[in-house]
Structure 1
Amino acid sequence: MVHSELLFQTPPWFLVLCILAGAAYALLLYRPVGPWGARWNWFLAGVRGFLIAFIVFLLLNPLVRNTTTLTEKAKIVLAIDNSASMAPYAQEVRALAKSLSSQLEEKDFDVSWQSLNENNVNLDSLQFDFPETDLSTLLATVKRQYEGQHLTDLVLISDGIVNRGLSPIYKPMPFRVNTLALGDTTPVADLRVSEVVHNKVAYLGNKFPIKVELVGQGLEGKRATVLLKHGGKVLESRSVGIDRKEYYQELTFEVTSTEKGVQRYTVSVVPVSGEYSKENNDKDVYIDIIDGRQRILLLGAVPHPDLKALKAILESDDNYEVVSQVLSVNATLPKSAKPYDLVILHQIPNNMNIGNQLISNFRETNTPLLFVLGNQSSTSAFNTLNQALQIVENGNQKDLVRGKYNTSFHLLNLDEKELDVLGKLPPLSVPFGDYQIRTGAEAILYQQVGSVPTTKPLLLVRMADGNKTGVLTGEGLWAWRQEEFLLTGQQEVVDKLFKKLVQLLSVKEDKRKFRVYPVKNEYLEGETVDFRTEVYNQVYESVYGNDIKLELADGQHSPKSYNYRVSKEMPKYQISALDNGVYRFKASANIDGANEEVTGQFIIKKQDLEQGSTTADFGLLREVAQNNGGTFLEKEGIASFVENLQANRPADRLDVAERLQGIIHYWWIALLIILLMTMEWGLRKYLGAY
């Protein structure tokens, strides 16, 4: 219903002025009687007077207030759990939902629908195959979509099995949540692979564990066989005895990696007689087997506790293979089949000329270097052999300094608050003198003398010109680690700082002009796989418009081929409806007249959450209803539930909307003025005047 009223922004007696203005104008124009006679003269004067009075009235800018009143009926949302565990009851759910909706609409309720993955669902086409059940997100979705509306009740039709997200018990809603329970609450005899714990990455030739958790119910006294498979072959078999009604056991398989790339291992339980379901007897795990860690060469001029500290930091990370040597003990470098990814030089170069000649050799091969200066270091030789820092030493003096984090350094993702502990650690011994940071180098830590910060670098890096260099200007790292352990009970901050520094220096730069890669390495079955494509010209500027051919193969189905073109607006290419498995891809394109290829792999994981537990949880549904002021019901109580809703029906809500608008903005005002002017002009023309 709409109610309109006229509001004046001026005193009402201004209307008299409008009428007087119209009358005066008409009097002046029509005082001498025209050739049409007195009667027409009075009529035309009245039209002109009304027109002028109306225009003057509009100049007063009167407002129209429109008040719209809407009656909003009580709204009820029927939320349907359409997960795979509800599939056996699909027809029953459709029939009950239709019946409940019909009864509610007869009582003049406004009924809407929601499922786990869509709203306003069509019951006849709704598929009960959603791979997970997240009732908390379902309720939150309804809350968000109907915010501000007259939603009084939600009816959740579910079996109460939740396998994703938070429990809906602990998330109160601003409306009543009623639960309609379906399913079988009787525990069934079953044995399933509940969980498989494993490393995501393993190194070629190494052993790694695969830990299996078995959960059983109602199969006591029987034996089961657990198999670990790879490539269709059984790697190991274990026999277990089920000694109790509610059974749980952990098994650990030790596996040796023999093939590179992402490998699929399958844990399988041979079905036991009397078992309810065999669909939850298998689980696939995917482990990326990589060949070779990053090789770090740690060279020291003389024995020093810092060497042991650096080695301990690096060996705590499986990504690094550390080779260490003290050149004063053994001057012959260890042989290596592959070049080192980083060389750490502790007190090299030095005044004893131990290992100084090696630096030029490493520079020729563009091997990243990390210098650690100490009391035996030669600053003059260091100035000649590095491009990051110049030190003009004042005699042979040393200074004791602590580390102060440079907050403008952004090449590493460091936590400023964590690094505050550096101010409490023992000072390092550094050369005393003037420090000059060379072009392209940045300080990570500055030197702090006592409580006075300086701009002299304690730790810095230079990443320019393809020659990566890091410099720690002092010795005493071992004392840092010990003191941090005394203060915090762990050696996390110092270790993390140097691990990130080593990673920054040792990682290889990607100089390819053509790159194609999936946005994620792992996807769940049913997810869309997004490929990002990057093409660069000779100066590494992004270019677009190239035609890309993408080939996919998983070793089980025929290879698939896709063609697309890169554009600035659409840098991603999407592929959907892929089955679970390990996919290897090859992308090719013609870049600047040359054929370029990129290869890689990704994983599509099977979602088997719905096979984990098939016993309905009515207790959860009762708690959800109780915590949200609703009613727990089974199918026999639908009729009485609807009657109870009607008996306690909240009043319809009146929504009032008010709108103010100047009357001059209505389209019919201009039309009225044009009609009056046209009518006056037409009559005068017809009666013989201009």
Structure 2
Amino acid sequence: MLKTAYSPYWLILCLVLGLVYAYMLYSRKKEPWTPVWNKVLFVLRFLVVSIIGYLFLEPFLNIQKTTSEPSKIIFLWDDSESLSKSENDLQIYWQELQQLRSDLEDKKGVDIPILGLNGNVLSEEDSIKNDRKESPLNAAIKNTGESFDNKLISEVILFSDGIYNQGISPDYYAFPFQLSTVGLGDSTQKKDVVLQQIRYNKVAYQGNQFPVEADILHTGFEGENSRVSLRNNGEIIAQKLVGFKNEREVSTVQFLVDAEKTGFQDYTVEVEILEDEFNTQNNSKNAYINIVEGKKNILLLAPYPHPDIKALSAAIDGNDNYDFTLAIDGISEENVKKLDEYDLAILFHLPNIKNSFDSEIRKLKNAETPLWFVTGSQLNFRRHNELNESVDLVPSSESDEAFAYVNTNFELFELSNEQEEILDELPPASMPFAKHNFHPLSKGLFMKKVGNVKTEEAVFVFYNNDEIRQATLLVQNFRIWRMVEYLNTQSHDFFDDWVMKSIRYLTAKNQKDRFKVFPKKEAFSDNEEVDFQVEIYNEVYDRIYGIPVKLELKSSNDSIYNFEFTPDRLKPDFVVGNLPGGIYEYSATTTIQDRAFESVGQFVVEEFDIESQNLQADFDLLARTAQKNQGKFFYSNQTDDLRDYLNAKEYPRILSGESETVPLTQNIIPYLLIFLLVIGEWFIRRYFGSY
């Protein structure tokens, strides 16, 4: 359809302009041509002027295009290690799957890509390598749907053992497409003892005792006993005997350990291997605990009771490494000790218009005590902006119910991918509607998400100018996160973790050294690269580059790694790469203006072998997942049934239309038409001798 950028009424003006121009040229003069030719010339000039005028209205064509695409059946293959450890006929089944794919594509005209759990294309692989270190089944299915247009997806077939060890269960939500499942692996219950998990605080304080708890699941060893040992750096420091009373049960063993030597300590919990045990790779786990000097004192000031305070208090007070003081105006303000003893003050809905705890807040600010602001109603915006270096709040009483997501560019500390997924499933909370002004040094951990749209508005930020550290949480009623997380996962791990990691960062001391080399985080897994942040300063503390650095790493088994590098503006940091598990000491040296500098420290590389912990396939989970998504469940030996099931369905090609706007001014046809009309008029006039 032909349209213009302006009102169609302007077309009348173009026609009038053409008529007036042609009338003035051919109505009054006596020319050497007949009246018939005069009318022809009148029409030609009318058309030329009208068309030129019409082109000034910016006409365009709306072209409707229809495309036809084949339907898709997506084969989602679980390429995790647990399958290769438990399924002996994996390669045979892979060949059957490739043949099934080829037959269906030829017979039904359907497109069948084979994808791995992270979306990698496996369709052309002659043999399959199941070497993925984790099984995020729910995320893999969800991402598969997001990678394709749902209208094109006829069905997704998940080939898996049903074992997931990252994220939530795949049967938790229904997906927006039909999903069937095929059970691989061995679901037979075997005699086995599994060290399911160990619980411990990653930081303990010297001189204290800290617990290490182990959950041990046994199957088939009723009436037998097993010895559980705790080792520190290879030496047995405690042992306990656990008895298995029932045919299948979980037993919990707790060790109380003295925190003696500072630095990272390697504790290993080992369960004795019993006769006829099916899987002996899941009998031990390591705990790397950082022993530091002295407890930290945390103060929370609040003008009134609030449910959010209870959520924060539960996360902090449950950690033995911190002394926590809660003071509420008019209720428990006498709890405040000497202000210079606190390592962090949390100002909950403070400073407020009633000036609650105003004197205490001034003293904390003057002492450069790290401050964590939690904004809320009745806030004194002017006073807040005087105290808060990280953000200037724009006065506003409006709020917005929105979701939060983790900023992947945040580098001060790390939340795991699983925790990011948990946050994605949590309900919205109250966040500011106004857009506040953040300091350039502020770094956002949580960002605002409206519906499915991820904005660039931070709602939890950290600030550090090498003198003071601050944080600002622009979220109210966040207690619902802790409540819903427990409903979803039966734990508060995510909520407590981001609270405690925030406190650990805020209570860490700033060091104004001219040479700093430190790992991006304290603990890495052996399947990720270890990288170091490098900072070099001159005498006036301006950052400088181009100075060679030597780095030596020494592992707990006495292996030594040496590196040399020169940081520059484009690559200021240094990536070591993957390292074996263990505790590492590092020493970095450099020379700045003929003066030697050294930076030393520790970090941990944890062995990531979660796929060996559970090798028993969960076909019940796969069946529930298929049922919830209008699909069917098949065993691995039912390839013919799967073939019949897919052959019985029709897969029509999917028609999709799109509208394309083509400006007429970019088309040669109107200009060619004008040229022909002008040439025609010129030829007639020339023929009769007018020119």
Q: Shared fold by TM > 0.5?
A: yes
Give the alignment of 1:231-630 within 5 angstroms.
Answer: 231-292=233-294, 318=321, 403=357, 411-416=370-375, 508-556=509-557, 557-567=559-569, 569-630=570-631
**Structure 1 contact 9–61 (Cα < 8 Å) conserved:** no
- Counterpart Cα distance in 1 of 2:222 and 2:286: 26
Structure 2 residue 159 is matched with structure 1 residue 157: yes
Give the alignment of 1:58-73 within 5 angstroms.
Answer: 58-59=55-56, 61-73=58-70
* Residues 291-347 of structure 1: CA deviation (Å, up to 9, x unaligned): 455799xxxxxxxxxxxxxxxx999964579xxxxxxxxxxxxxxxxxxxxxx879x
Cα deviation, residue 104, structure 1: 2.7
Q: SS in structure 2 opposite 1:99?
A: helix
* Residues 214-248 of structure 1: CA deviation (Å, up to 9, x unaligned): 21111234443332223333333444444432143
- The aligned residue for residue 203 of structure 2 is 201
- The aligned residue for residue 100 of structure 1 is 100
Cα deviation, residue 582, structure 1: 1.2
**Structure 1 contact 82–115 (Cα < 8 Å) conserved:** yes
Structure 2 residue 86 is matched with structure 1 residue 84: no
Unaligned runs of 5+ in 1: 34-44, 297-312, 322-343, 347-367, 371-399, 421-436, 444-462, 469-498, 682-689
Residue 217 of structure 1 aligns to which amino acid in structure 2? T
- CA pair 593-136 structure 1, distance change in 2 beyond 3 A: same
- Counterpart Cα distance in 1 of 2:144 and 2:509: 48
Cα deviation, residue 207, structure 1: 3.8
- CA pair 345-266 structure 1, distance change in 2 beyond 3 A: closer
- The aligned residue for residue 299 of structure 1 is none
* Residues 480-526 of structure 1: CA deviation (Å, up to 9, x unaligned): xxxxxxxxxxxxxxxxxxx9xx9999975422122222222112221
Q: State the superposition RMSD in angstroms.
A: 5.1
- The aligned residue for residue 664 of structure 1 is 665
Cα deviation, residue 565, structure 1: 1.0
**Structure 1 contact 9–62 (Cα < 8 Å) conserved:** no
- The aligned residue for residue 360 of structure 1 is none
- CA pair 559-442 structure 1, distance change in 2 beyond 3 A: closer
Residue 98 of structure 1 aligns to which amino acid in structure 2? Q
Q: SS in structure 2 opposite 1:620?
A: helix
- CA pair 320-670 structure 1, distance change in 2 beyond 3 A: same
- The aligned residue for residue 115 of structure 1 is 116
Residue 236 of structure 1 aligns to which amino acid in structure 2? A
- The aligned residue for residue 496 of structure 1 is none
Q: SS in structure 1 opposite 2:257?
A: strand
- The aligned residue for residue 475 of structure 1 is none
**Structure 1 contact 158–179 (Cα < 8 Å) conserved:** yes
Q: SS in structure 1 opposite 2:166?
A: coil
- Counterpart Cα distance in 2 of 1:14 and 1:504: 71
**Structure 1 contact 230–264 (Cα < 8 Å) conserved:** yes
Cα deviation, residue 419, structure 1: 11
- The aligned residue for residue 650 of structure 2 is 649
**Structure 1 contact 9–63 (Cα < 8 Å) conserved:** no
Q: SS in structure 2 opposite 1:111?
A: coil
- CA pair 207-404 structure 1, distance change in 2 beyond 3 A: closer
- CA pair 10-642 structure 1, distance change in 2 beyond 3 A: farther
Give % identity: 27
**Structure 1 contact 26–46 (Cα < 8 Å) conserved:** no
- Counterpart Cα distance in 1 of 2:279 and 2:318: 46
- Counterpart Cα distance in 1 of 2:199 and 2:637: 44
- CA pair 185-26 structure 1, distance change in 2 beyond 3 A: farther
- The aligned residue for residue 416 of structure 2 is none
Cα deviation, residue 153, structure 1: 0.9
Residue 210 of structure 1 aligns to which amino acid in structure 2? V
- Counterpart Cα distance in 2 of 1:415 and 1:233: 46
- Counterpart Cα distance in 1 of 2:196 and 2:18: 89
- Counterpart Cα distance in 1 of 2:226 and 2:607: 24
Q: SS in structure 1 opposite 2:622?
A: helix
Cα deviation, residue 546, structure 1: 3.4
- The aligned residue for residue 178 of structure 2 is 176
Cα deviation, residue 192, structure 1: 1.9
- Counterpart Cα distance in 2 of 1:628 and 1:314: 42
Unaligned runs of 5+ in 2: 33-41, 299-315, 325-336, 343-353, 390-463, 470-499, 683-690
Q: SS in structure 1 opposite 2:657?
A: strand
* Residues 183-215 of structure 1: CA deviation (Å, up to 9, x unaligned): 111101111211222232233454433222221
* Residues 521-563 of structure 1: CA deviation (Å, up to 9, x unaligned): 1122212333222233333333344333332221333323241
Residue 238 of structure 2 aligns to which amino acid in structure 1? E
Cα deviation, residue 103, structure 1: 2.9
Give the alignment of 1:131-146 within 5 angstroms.
Answer: 131-146=133-148
* Residues 36-65 of structure 1: CA deviation (Å, up to 9, x unaligned): xxxxxxxxx999999888656645644322
- CA pair 402-546 structure 1, distance change in 2 beyond 3 A: same
**Structure 1 contact 22–50 (Cα < 8 Å) conserved:** no
- Counterpart Cα distance in 2 of 1:158 and 1:228: 35
Cα deviation, residue 674, structure 1: 8.8
- Counterpart Cα distance in 1 of 2:270 and 2:584: 22
Residue 415 of structure 1 aligns to which amino acid in structure 2? V
**Structure 2 contact 191–278 (Cα < 8 Å) conserved:** yes
Residue 517 of structure 1 aligns to which amino acid in structure 2? F
- Counterpart Cα distance in 2 of 1:75 and 1:536: 57
- Counterpart Cα distance in 1 of 2:236 and 2:280: 19
**Structure 2 contact 11–54 (Cα < 8 Å) conserved:** no
Cα deviation, residue 79, structure 1: 0.9
- The aligned residue for residue 327 of structure 1 is none
Cα deviation, residue 128, structure 1: 0.9
Q: SS in structure 2 opposite 1:283?
A: strand
- Counterpart Cα distance in 2 of 1:465 and 1:621: 52
Q: SS in structure 2 opposite 1:610?
A: helix
- CA pair 234-645 structure 1, distance change in 2 beyond 3 A: same
Choose which of 162, 166, 169 in structure 2 pairs with 1:167. Answer: 169
- CA pair 555-55 structure 1, distance change in 2 beyond 3 A: same
**Structure 2 contact 229–239 (Cα < 8 Å) conserved:** yes
- The aligned residue for residue 404 of structure 2 is none
Q: SS in structure 2 opposite 1:101?
A: helix
Cα deviation, residue 151, structure 1: 1.5
**Structure 1 contact 226–237 (Cα < 8 Å) conserved:** yes
- Counterpart Cα distance in 2 of 1:66 and 1:176: 34
- Counterpart Cα distance in 1 of 2:318 and 2:652: 71
Q: Bigger relative contact order, structure 1 or 2, given CA contacts below 8 A and separation 6+? A: 2
